[in-house]
Amino acid sequence: MTAPTADNLRAAPCAGDGAVAVLTKVLRITRIAMVFVLVTVIGTAARVPFFPLRFGGDPADPEARWPTVFIGAAVDPDMTAAAIYTQSAVDIIMIAAGVFIITEMLQVLRNVAAGNAFVRENGQRLRRMGYAGVIAQLSVYAVWIAAEAIAVAGIADVEGLIIEISPAPWIVILCAFALSTVFNDAATLKEEQDLTV
């Protein structure tokens, strides 16, 4: 019986390979769906001519405020055009950040499936995911502040805009930074072990 070496350990199959494969497929499908929604929201908000997809009310309805954009829930029918554009901007920011984060997570899972879970690259990806979350959240706050400033100045009415501030995204962001530190520390220990072997 031979003693395990760093190369053998690195090549050893992960006990959760099946779960990693399933999660990878789910994330890939989710990313495709999010890109589709992102393109649709941008096309709708920008009023791209001949764009085949629209979110919201029927453009043929003379009472409809076109485009009426919504993601995940119907929009208040009294929502003003400025509020709709503000919500579109928020949706675009959040979906784009989500696509980036999923892409980074897929790279982490690729390393995990290859038996290289604790490498510095994974720690860096988790840190980038955290920064993406911070930038997205701050951008959303900036859009909301700009919309309210426009409303206060009397330039446009943002009636119907819903502003929801939750600690949940910040908790996830902090977890990403914490996991990044854990992965970096584990990578350091692994490198020291490899040198010892």
Structure pTM? Answer: 0.75
Q: What CA–CA distance (Å, rounded) separates 116 from 131?
A: 23
Residue 44 burial (10 A CB sphere; 0-12, 13-18, 19+): buried
Task: Give phi and psi for 64, each to the nearest 5.
Answer: -75, 140
197 residues of the chain, pLDDT tens digit each: 444 444 444 444 555 678 889 999 999 999 999 998 888 778 767 765 555 555 555 444 444 445 544 443 444 556 777 887 888 889 899 999 999 999 999 999 998 888 888 888 999 999 999 999 999 999 999 999 999 999 888 888 888 787 888 899 999 999 999 999 998 888 888 877 777 75
Cβ–Cβ < 8 Å for 133, 56:
no
Contact 158, 148 (CB under 8 A): yes
Q: Read off the DSSP letter of residue 4.
A: P
